[in-house]
Amino acid sequence: MNTLLLDSDDVDENARMAAVIDAVEEAFGAFERGDSQMPAKSYIDLPQYNGDFRSMPAYLDTGEWDAAGLKWVNVHPDNPEKHDLPTVLGTMIYSDPETAVPLAIIDGTALTMKRTGAAAAVATDYLAVEDATSMGVVGAGVQSYTQLEAISEIRPIEEVVVADKDEERTRAFIDTFDDRFDVRAGSISEAGHCDVLSTVTPVEDPIVGPDDVAEHTHINAMGADAEGKHELADDLLLAARIVIDDHEQCTHSGEINVPYHEGVLGDEDIYAEIGELVVGAKEARGDDTGVTVFDSTGLAIQDVAAAHVVYEQALENDNGTSFGLIDTDDV
């Protein structure tokens, strides 16, 4: 029995965004129903290298399919300058739950970008106004691209405003999408007054306040992935309907982690987990709902769901490199 090696190009070719969005939504539902196992993300801190490793295992059963996997990922901010390597590198091991056979070794960096965009799209589908046609993006790094790609799958986005201090990154973003959208550079406030806003920055001092968004804006807060990171002002969070992906992760390292630990924001200020909206346990967006915020830390079940889509599509398309990893001669 062979294992598939799927590199970033294979992920791009086989991670059909609409299918990944559906799979991630199913994963959120399985998590809420208790049909998944997801141990807490574990960290190995390496201050001597200004970096860390993170281990993210999960199993989920949607009722139609089940899957298991482990993502091994890092954050090394010095990599680009010192080693000509990306800050984040990831490897996904996708396994057969019945036999434990490693079905695929998948580039986890490309997979993470796809599933992160898909998670924002799921939240946007439940929380944004139905007729949303404009989208703002704060931060024009690599994650910003899949935010727009995914959200435009579930809302008819026409106008896009991107805010970033780096003119080169802003221009690259605009050049990528100007044949599909009316996209332009703008201020944080201009981006925030769109129907949907995705923030994808690593800041620790909030950059988006209450005056920077419209009365109905849905915000996907995607940038916070470690303690101390904080993109949205406390008074904006307190005035919004907050939906999180997981209580433990969000209070530890999500957008709400700083005000939560300072006692500014409590459990009573958290409206729901996204899985509650998916299974219908909580109302998504009502007629009188104002600003909404999705605090996304990224869950291992999302990686497994995205890996499932990529693997099944790669099999169908005969993509990837097949190799023998397990020796069954002596069994």
Is 281 inside any structural domain?
A: yes
Q: Exposed, middle or buried: residue 48 (CB in 10 Å: 0-12, 13-18, 19+)?
A: exposed
Reported residue count of the chain is 331
pLDDT tens for 42-87 read 889 999 999 999 999 999 999 999 999 999 999 999 999 999 998 8
Is 329 inside any structural domain?
A: no
Is 258 inside any structural domain?
A: yes
CA distance 307 to 143: 18
Is 328 inside any structural domain?
A: no
Residue 288: which pLDDT band, with cuts at 50, 70 and 90?
confident
Type of residue found at 156: P
Residue 115, marked binder: yes
Residue 143, marked binder: yes
The residues facing 56 across adjacent strands are 71
* 3-class DSSP state of 157: coil
Query: How many domains does one find in the chain?
Result: 2
Residue 229, marked binder: yes
Residue 165, marked binder: no
What pLDDT is stored for residue 226 in this prediction?
Answer: 80
Q: Are residues 162 and 95 in the same domain?
A: no
Q: Are residues 278 and 200 in the same domain?
A: yes
Q: Do residues 101 and 326 touch, judged by C-beta distance below 8 A?
A: yes
pLDDT tens for 216-251 read 999 999 998 888 999 999 999 999 999 999 999 999
pLDDT tens for 121-178 read 999 999 999 999 999 999 999 999 999 999 999 999 999 999 999 999 999 999 999 9
Q: Do residues 236 and 208 touch, judged by C-beta distance below 8 A?
A: yes
- The model's pTM is 0.94
Q: Are residues 280 and 132 in the same domain?
A: yes
Q: Are residues 71 and 214 in the same domain?
A: no
Q: Are residues 125 and 223 in the same domain?
A: yes
Distant-in-sequence, close-in-space partners of 253: CB < 8 Å, separation ≥ 6: 224, 225, 226, 227, 229, 297
Question: How many angstroms separate the Cα of 227 from the Cα of each of 46, 122, 244, 257?
Answer: 16, 25, 16, 7
Q: Do residues 276 and 248 touch, judged by C-beta distance below 8 A?
A: no
Q: Are residues 212 and 257 in the same domain?
A: yes
Question: How many angstroms separate the Cα of 41 from the Cα of each of 251, 266, 297?
Answer: 13, 22, 11
DSSP classification of residue 281: S
Q: Are residues 308 and 164 in the same domain?
A: no
Is 324 inside any structural domain?
A: no
Q: Are residues 273 and 311 in the same domain?
A: no
Instruction: Over range 115-125, report the average pLDDT.
Output: 98
Give residue 279's domain range.
Answer: 118-295
Q: Are residues 160 and 279 in the same domain?
A: yes
CA distance 100 to 26: 22
The residues facing 136 across adjacent strands are 161, 197
Q: Do residues 218 and 190 touch, judged by C-beta distance below 8 A?
A: no
H or E stretch covering 248: helix 247-253
Q: Are residues 33 and 144 in the same domain?
A: no
What pLDDT is stored for residue 138 in this prediction?
Answer: 98
Q: Is the pLDDT of residue 206 over 90?
A: yes
Is 325 inside any structural domain?
A: no
What pLDDT is stored for residue 40 in this prediction?
Answer: 87
- The chain-wide mean pLDDT, for the chain, equals 96
Q: Are residues 243 and 290 in the same domain?
A: yes
Residue 327: which pLDDT band, with cuts at 50, 70 and 90?
confident
What pLDDT is stored for residue 246 in this prediction?
Answer: 95
What pLDDT is stored for residue 330 in this prediction?
Answer: 63
Q: Is the dihedral of CA 248, 249, 251, 253 positive or negative?
A: positive
CA distance 82 to 72: 22
Residue 296, marked binder: yes
Percent of the chain with pLDDT over 90: 92
The residues facing 90 across adjacent strands are 73
Active site residues: 71
Type of residue found at 67: A
Is 331 inside any structural domain?
A: no
Task: Tell me how far apart the terminal alpha carbons of the chain are, to the nearest angstrom.
Answer: 13
Is 307 inside any structural domain?
A: yes
Q: Are residues 33 and 141 in the same domain?
A: no
What pLDDT is stored for residue 46 in this prediction?
Answer: 97
